Structure formats: structure tokens, C-alpha cells
Amino acid sequence: MKQWRIDDIGASTKYYNQWGRQKFSWRGITYFYFPWANYGFLKRVWPFRGWAKYEELTAEEWQKYLEIFYNNQIKPIVAVTATWVDEKSNLIPFPEKFPAEAATLKQAADEGRITVANHGLTHCLVGRHLPHFRYSNRKAHREFWPDLPSELHREHILESQKILEDYFARKIEIFVPSGNVWSIKTYEALKETNIKKVIAARYMLETNKAMEGIEFIQDDNFVRLHDRDLKLHNIKWLTKKISLYEKNNKR
Ligand SMILES: [Zn+2]
């Protein structure tokens, strides 16, 4: 059975990860190239907007989506970023920044309707996360680059686990690195926590070294969504996606 996963809950990457689409391709052929797509506001508007900006899902929106998942016997993994990094580089814990949304997810976790996963402390490089006037800042919206100090990996892992475990009042056992970027330094830090699984598209960046006590799950088999998909679409979209998926995966 396929697993469903929704990433980026609580992450300010939805505001600040701004880059413009320069290449417009169809069936592998680029028919339009716009080198200025990263300039100023262009990166925020259609058709150049590559990612941001969109708003956090509300508690009401979650209620509707959770009901659809529940009615289709899907228990999604909800990957939460433990703090929102604001424009002044303050880190605001998820339950403080989005209390109603957090309460809805807590209730869903208590009822066994979702599995909460750790999607990092910040999702980004704090201080380098704001949009650039003329460049993409996509690289700064990955948190666990191998060239960052071990201490940073450790702090971010331990702090995010603490925030999520305290609030959701349960062990958090799944870690989903932002942008599939993680390192042996991240693994060393994870060993000090309750994390039992790392789910990502690829293994640690700098090594193939086997892990002990933590399992790596390549997420090829997952239906991967971002909260962005749920925010920019609607109930009808999700219902259709689920039924299409079920049609294609009938035994
Ligand atoms: Zn993410």
C-alpha cells in the first residue's frame, strides 16, 4: 500500500522561498526562456512564480481534508517544521504561531488519523532565508547541508524534536529532511532522539555509510504532497487525486 505524506506544515519557506521559473517547457522542449524571472516581484507572480508565496492551511481547511483522508482509509504522515522563521530571523514555535491549526493536528494525532513527523526546526538557513532581489534563494531553503557545523545539525534536530514531542505529547519517530538534503552529521544527531526512520528521496549527501538503529526509507512509493498542493487546490482536487490513485493501483 502506498503511503501519503504532506510536507511543509508550519514552515515559513512558503513565504520566503521565492524563485522565478525561467524555462517554460512542454514535452521536453523549451519554448520560452525568460532570464529575468528572478527579478523583484516577478518571482512572486504567475506565470513565473516557482514556489512562494502562499498561506498556511487553516484549522477549517485541515478539518475538511482530514475527513477526506479518513473516509478513504488514508492515514497521512504530516511532516511539521517545528518553528516559523520570520523576517527578523526569530524562531516561533509551531503551536505558538498557528495555535488553531496545531490543535486540529494534535486532535487528529490523538485520534490516530495522522502520523506526525519532524520536518526540521526551520526548513531553511536562518538569516539567508529572505528573498533576494535578483536571484533564486532555493538553496537557502534546505536546512541540513553537510558543510554546516555538527553543532548546528544537533541543535536543530534536538530542538525540533523537543518542540514537537512536547506539544503533540508523543514520541516523534519519523524525520523528513527538507529538500531531501541531510548529512552524516544529521544522523549523528538523530541517534540522540526517538527517531526511528528517515524518509527521503535520497540518502545522506556525503556518504553511503549504513545506519544503526535508524531505518532509511526511500520515498519513491509515497504519494508526496506539500501543504501548498492543499492550499492552492481544493477538496475536489484531493478527492480526484485519491480516486485516480486508487484506480491505477487496483490489484
Ligand atoms: Zn519541505
> Mean pLDDT of residues grouped by 10 in the chain (251 residues)?
90 81 74 67 68 87 96 96 94 97 98 97 86 71 94 97 98 97 97 98 95 95 92 93 85 49
Q: C-alpha distances in angstroms, 234 versus 47, 67, 150?
A: 20, 13, 41
d(CA 195, CA 83): 18
Angstrom CA distances, 180 to 94, 105, 120, 145, 217, stand at 21, 24, 11, 10, 12
Q: According to the CATH classification, is domain 3-17+53-248 in 3.20.20? A: yes
| Cα 233 to ligand 1 centre (Å) | 18
- Quick check: 83 and 156 in contact, CB under 8 A? no
Q: Give the three cell numbers for residue 48.
A: 513565473
In the chain, where does the domain assigned CATH 3.20.20 lie? 3-17+53-248
Q: Which amino acid is at 88?
A: K
What angle do the packed helices 59-71 and 99-110 form, to 10 degrees?
Answer: 20
**H or E segment and range at residue 175:** strand 174-175
Helix (H) or strand (E) holding 102: helix 99-110
Determine the pLDDT at residue 127.
82
Q: Are 214 and 187 in contact (CB under 8 A)?
A: yes
pLDDT for 212 equals: 95
Distance 77 CA to ligand 1 centre (A): 13
Q: What is the CA radius of gyration of the chain?
A: 18
Q: Residue 14 has which C-alpha cell?
A: 512558503
Could you give the CA distance from residue 166 to residue 94 in angstroms, rounded to a whole number? 11
Q: Report the separation in Å between the CA atom of 14 and the middle of ligand 1, taken as the mean of its atom positions.
A: 9
Ligand 1 centroid from CA 21, angstroms: 19
Task: Single out the residue of 127, 131, 163, 130 nearest to residue 148, CA to CA.
Answer: 127
**Cα–ligand 1 centroid distance for 236 (angstroms):** 24
| Cα(251) to centroid(ligand 1), Å | 32
Per-residue pLDDT at 21: 73
Ligand 1 center from residue 227 Cα (angstroms): 9
